[in-house]
Each structure stands twice: as structure tokens, then as C-alpha cells.
Structure 1
Amino acid sequence: MLSLRRTKNGALTHSSILFKILIPFSQFSPFSSKSNPKSTTQNRITTIPRKSTTRRPISLAAPVPRVPDTVSTSIVNSVCSLLSKDTHEITSIDSLLKNFKETLRSELVLQILMNYKQLGRSKTLQFFSWAGFQMRFQFDDCVVEYMADFLGRRKLFDDMKCLLLTVSSHKGRVSCRSVSICIRFLGRQGRIKEALCVFEEMESKFGCKPDNLVYNNMLYVLCKKESSGHLIDFALAVFRRIESPDTYSYSNMLVGLCKFGRFETAVEVFGDMCKSGLVPTRSAVNVLIGDLCLFSAKEGAVEKVRVKDPYRTFTILVPKVGGNRDAIQPAVGVFWEVYKLGLLPSTFVIIRLISGLCQLGKAEEAVKVLKAVEGKKLSCVEEGYCIVMKALCEHCYVDEACNLFGRMLSHSMKPKLAVYNHVITMLCKLGNVDDAERVFKIMNKNRCLPDGMTYSALIHAYCEARNWETAYGLLIEMLGLGCSPHFHTYRLVDKILRENGQMDLCLKLERKLETLTLQKLCKDGQLEAAYEKLKSMIEKGFYPPVYVRDAFQNAFRRYGKSKIAQELLEKIDEIDRT
């Protein structure tokens, strides 16, 4: 409740800055109907007569001719110049501005307030209080709204509420925009209960019926700034009270419902919004689709199982075989609805949707989504292709994967290494070595450097086809690029070479692999392992080339052990001489 005494909600207090400034101008508190004749203030200079005067407040007087801009500017400059003088006496403001009492009006007050940088916060508040009592707080809406924003930005929340009560108590007008400003600033600072109090009492205390702006700001506070989730039902009730919800009403409600896991209600609200012909904000779409994807991933991956125990019955989560393919359908439905309305979610949400579809085995639907966003030239298209290609290749959908791969090339895209690897691995598993070789050539043509995974897939395929020449050539090429093959890959090639009587190639391959291993040990600074490796190579009769010997010697020299390396290398020189 908004009251004079401080509460847990931080309600209005007599220590309010604005309240202290207002006191010298009034014989009674603007928040109480009882006067306090005993209270005295040394700085009090004038009081507003309690009896009504014959002169009507300026804001209620008949329209007067508009003052030219030049005159208005001169008055503003004069007032700001007087207020900027080095004086700290509050009582001096009435004498300073006595010549401007008759010219006061809302436009002039607003222009002077907008010069707050020149006046400073204290002088700005003093002037507003003085002008308020001169005009009996009969300001236009723009002045009250500006002052509410001024106080809210400086986190003077008690003064902001004091402003609304003061204007209302003097029969001034408090607009819905002023109330919404107050609610929004309170909500941003986490003062949810105070914002609720302002909202619930705005009709009784301010005589102001909430409009869409007030409702939207209240929903913003309840749905986006409130973190406990206890008020989401109240937010839904507030939303139902709006006669004609607009885009922001629906969007705030969607964000709040998703934030607290009320996805079924969120989908229903989204359906009502589409029926009304409204388009949600992009941030609301991101939250709705993104959270629905996360929920579907959890829902489709696990299921609850009741376990009966002699002592108690409990529930456990177990992996769901195959997943629930329909769990992601609400997210897909929302995507296609906003797509029809000409709106697309952000790239990271699209990637999340495509990934979710692929994880649940709905690669065909993922392809449709990818083709829909392809024309928009979003940055996520290539990443989306990579995700879909991986899913298609893992499920061995050859035709779909090849068509999509061809689509990438026809659109002048440069597939990433992962895409090539997925396609080559799929073709090799199916024994389609010729097509895999074609993709490998396209890869080299597009200057995409293959890695160990690329070579391993091709080598295994050629070994299965008993093509030892090509398998051996690929492994030598792989070693030349500095890629270490898996032990199983090496043993597979070695076996097929021995079966075909190619013992010399077996020795050459072993020497090449030993040399590469020694080179990597020297590069990594593993001196002991490098020493043992070179020693074993000498015993086998394998002598590394000159550049590897230099790398071996340099590695030992960096750690001050060049003599140890030199002794071992001299043995190689002696063997070479003999």
C-alpha cells in the first residue's frame, strides 16, 4: 500500500527529497487531509491559501494567445540563469522568480525542466515544487510524465510515487502514461510489490483507469522481472482483463509463460494472438520456439517410470528408446505460423530448432525449415546444412543427403570439412567407393584440406574392396600431411600388403610411421620418449632423414641436453660410413 510510513515495500516516507522540498510551500501534507498548525519551518516563505481565490489556476484558465518561440526561449534562458546562481537558500527561489509567476504554464515549465543539466538535480526539483504550488499542480500530462521519468531514472522511487500522490491530491491529472512509467521503473529495480500497489490503486487514488500501456508495463514487470513464478497466474488474470490486447500484451505474456514452464498455456495464447491477426515481437518468438525446443529435447529423451519398492514407491527417469518424435511439434507449428506472418526467429533459435528435429529423427522436416530460411540469406544457413547433412548421413539417407549436398554446391556454398567427412563416411560404409572418391576430388578442388577422419574412411573402404594400391597411397599421403593414422587403420593396410606379398612396402610404411612419431615427440618436447624411439629405430635399421635428425638435436638443445642427442646421432653417422 502507498502510505506515508515506510513499509517493507519501501512506500512513501517523510524523508523523501521531493516531499522535503514541497513542505515549505504548504501548511499541510499533500498526503493527509489533516493540517499541522504546530509545525514550523524556518525556510517557509509563502503558503497557498486554504480558501479558494477568484483567480483560477493557469492550466484551467481560458486559452491565451501562443507566445512566440523567441519570447519563450528568452524566458526559459532567464529562469535558468537565475536558478543557476550560486545560492543554497530554498527561500530565495520565490523572490528570484516572482516576476515569472504570471507567465507560468505547462509548456514553459517543461522547457525549463528539460534544462536539468544546467540546473542540477536539486535546483530542478526546487523549481518543479515551486511551479507546482504556483499552478496548484494543474500541469499538462507531458510535465508530470517528464518528471516521473526524471525521478525514475535517478532511482528516486519514493519521490516518484510522492509526485503522483501530490498531483492527485491537488486535483491535478495523473495520466496512464505517468503511472506506467512509475510501474516500469519500480519493476526494473525488482520492487514488484510496490509496482503492484501502484497498479491496483491507480483508479482509487489517481482516478485513472488502466489502458493498454499500463497493462503492458505491468505484464512486463510480472513476466520478465519477477523471478519466483508465484505471480504468473495473477499476470494471466491481468492479461484476461485487457479488452483489446495488442502485440506487446501477448508478447509479454508469452515470455512469462515460457519462463515458468507453462508451455501449453503459452501455445494457447499464441493461437489466440494469431486469430486476432497480431504478430508477436521477435524476442517473444525466440523465447517461445527456443524454450519449446529445449522442453521437447527433455521430453523426447527421457520418460518417467514408477518403481515399486517394499518400503516406498518412487519415480525415476530413464532414457526413452527412439525418443518422442512428436514432442517438438509445437515448436515447429509456431515456426510455420510466424513464417507465414513474415517473421523469422533469430539464427541461434533456428539452429536449435533444426538440431532438435535432427535429434528426434525428423530430418525431412529439418530440410523444409532449412529451405524456408535459405532465401533470407541468414548466417545460420551453412551451419544448418552441416547439422542436417550429419543427420541424413548418420541415418544413411543417401538420396536426400546427395541432393542436399548438390544443392549446397549449386548455391556456391563452400561446405565445411565436417560436411565432406559425413558424406564420404556414409558412402564408404555403404561400399560406394567411386562416389566417395568423387566427393574427395571435389573436396580437393575446393581447397578443403582433408583430415585423419577423411583418409581413414577412404582407406577402410578400399581395404574392404581389396584395393591395396589405393589404400597404401592414401595412407602415405596421410602421413605426408602429418596426420597419424589410428592403429587399427595402420594394421589393416599392413595386413593387406602382406597378403599381397608387398613386404618392401610394409617396411617403407613402418619407417614412415616411425619417422612421423619421432618428429611429433620432438615437437612436443617429450625427450625421453623421443630418445627411446630413435634408439629403437636404429636397432630396426631405420634411419630418419636429415630434417628429422635436426629436429631431434634442436629439441635436446633447447633443454640443455645436446650432448645426449649428439652421442646417439654419432652412432647413425658411424653406421652410414661403414
Structure 2
Amino acid sequence: MASARLSLRYVRRFTTAAGDATTTIESASPFPGKISVSKAKSTLRKVHDPDKALEIYSNVSDHSASPVSSRYAQELTVRRLAKCNRFSDIETLIESHKNDPKIKEESFYSMLIRSYGRASMFDHAMSTFEQMDKYGTPRSAVSFNALLTACLHSKKFDKVPQLFDEIPQRYKNTIPDKISYGILIKSYCDSGSPEKAIEIMRQMEKKRMEVTTIAFTTILGSLYKNGEIEVAESLWKEMVKKGCELDTAAYNVRLMNAQKESPERVSELIDEMISVGLKPDTISYNYLITAYCEKGMLDEAKKVFKGLEANKCAPNAATFRTLIFHLCYCGLYEQGYAMFKKSVRMNKIPDFNTLKHLAVGLVTNKKIDDAKGLIRTVKKKFPSSFLIAWKKLEEELGLCSKTDASSSSAKAAAEGRETAA
């Protein structure tokens, strides 16, 4: 209840002072004064508490300074709220922006549609799209693509083709462009139908419409995932022959498949990337790390990890997840814990299931202090709503302190009295 009051206090700022860049939040805020939207974006990446996320977002000095960063910051805030099922707060936040003078700008309006999609609130996204006439906001492929994207993020893959056909008929100015077709292609791929996506690609070619590298990469990835390797390789050769500008993301899709073959094959493709002037990124090297780990070649995997900085890359949560999982699988829990501490320093902590294996392994091997340290660190990094599974694991492993145990007993007793009453 307290968190709801706190978040709504920040949300009301948007409702009562939309567009007022001079308004500041309470002096008690841990983020006193205004911050740039770029600073907010980078800070929000590290924050998981929804109230803190709202507070940071509310403190942005000028959202118009960087529209792209502003959109990213808003979507990050919405995602933090959605993870905690704070949908009424999301609605209040997004609806408050409809009082902003920029609401007549299609790009600004489209940001609201996309944000509803990020929260899987497609009905709200659809309603917002239909309200554009009310606010005097023009429609074009920009808002149409925002609606299709919201549908995609809400995992309503079957509805995307329906909207693709219906919306242009209802609204004359919403003519699908190459991005619209790319979203349609992704909807078919995400629903496991790459053959339908290829049909759409062929239609685009007949219309002499550019097939973007993103659309091509999406189809390629779907084919590999479906095990249609020959079709995927044939499509790759076709795109190379046509002179399609292949980027790092396209090669990463091939690396994803190559990791199942051997680390040598992944290395070959990385060398090929470099030879054509592309720079392998963290995802590229993650596939190489995974390939080595799957073969039990942990020393080689750790060499790749140590070489990331030299290759001007930084490990992400997936990097640490892979290494910690395989170190635990091989019984190297102390090394796994050391890797966990590195992930904390870089603010790239892996998921619960990976760290659960590590915590259990540490306890089994009598590394109780390390296991307690792991759980204590996680508790500090994430909001209480994220920690239910951790608290349960802590109890199962007998790692609760006497204070925690007493607190749990008291809470259980109180709940028992309420039930009896």
C-alpha cells in the first residue's frame, strides 16, 4: 500500500505539471534535482525497484532533448512496473502524458502506444491508437508500426496479420512500409512459421520494397531454431549474392547455430566476420564461450571471457549465467562464486535458477559464509517483490539468521491469529 502511494505521488507530477521542466520532486528523494534523460536511461538499466524507477523517470529535466532516450527510459520504467504487476500505475503514468502539449506529435503519441505494448496491455494500446482523432494527432505508418509492435510485445502473434490487413482499410494514411512488413515477418517467425515469413519477403521483392537486414535476420534465426538448416544456409547465400548488407546481428544468428556444432566452427565464423570488416560483439563471444563450455573446455571459455576487454566488449548477464552454470555443473563452486562477485561488480547478475544451483552447491560443500554472502547481496540488489523465491531457498538451505527466523515466526503467528479471528 505504501509503495502504491509513493509511486502515485510521482505519477501525479506528470498529471498536474505535464511539460513543466522546472518542477522537482520532494527533497527527500535520493536523486535530488534534475537529471538528463541519457543519465536516467543509464541509471534505469541498473534499477529494479519500480518505485525507484518511477522516481528517476520523474526527475528527467527535459524529455524532448533526446526523444529516443526518452522513449527508452519510459519503456524501462514501464517494464519495471510490469514485472511487479503494477498495471494500474502503468496506466496512470501513460495516460498522464496525454495532457502533454506534444500529444499532437505522432512520434510522441506512438511512444505511449509502444509503452502499453511493453507491459503486454494490448487492449490499452489499441484504445490509445483509436483515440488519436480525439487529440488531433495524425496517423501514418509511424503510429501503425507502434501498434503492430505493441501487439508483438503482447505476444498476440496471430493478431498482427489481422491488424496488418484491417488498419490500412480503416485509416487511409496508414500505408504499410518496410518496417511494417518487418514486424509482420517477425510475427510469423515468433509463432513458429518462418515459411509464411518467407512468403511475405517474396511479396516485398515483387513490390520492389527493400527487405531490411533485420527482417532477413529474423527469418534466418527462425529457420535455424526450427532445424531447417539447409533452407537457412540457402537463404544466407541468396542474400550474399544479392549484395544484402549483412551486419553483426546477422552473423550472430549463424553463430547461434554454429555453437551446436563446435567451438572451432564458431571461431571460423568470428574470423570471417572480422575479415569482412565487421566487429564481433559480446553476443558473438558469448556463443564461443557457450560452445567451449558445452564441450567441457572451461579453461578455453575463461580465456575468451578474459579477452573480452581487449576486444572492446563487456560481459553481460548471459555471459555470467553461462560461466556460472557450467562451473557449477563441473563442481567448481568456489570459482562460480568468484564469477558471481564479478557479475555484481559489473551489475550484470544472472537469473535466479542459475544462482540457485550455485547457492545449493556452496552449502553442500560447506561454504556456508559464501552462500550467505550470495543471498545477502541479492537481497540488497533487488526489491522485496523479487525475493520471494530467494527467501524460500534461504529457509530450505537453513541459512536464515535467528532474527529472520524470529521475524518469520512472528509473521506466521500474526497471520494465524487473523485467520482464527
Higher relative contact order (CA 8 A, sep 6+): 2
TM above 0.5, yes or no, is no
Q: TM-score range by the shorter chain?
A: 0.3 to 0.5
TM-score scaled by length of structure 1: 0.31
Flag the structure with larger Rg.
1
Structure (1/2) with the larger helix percentage: 2
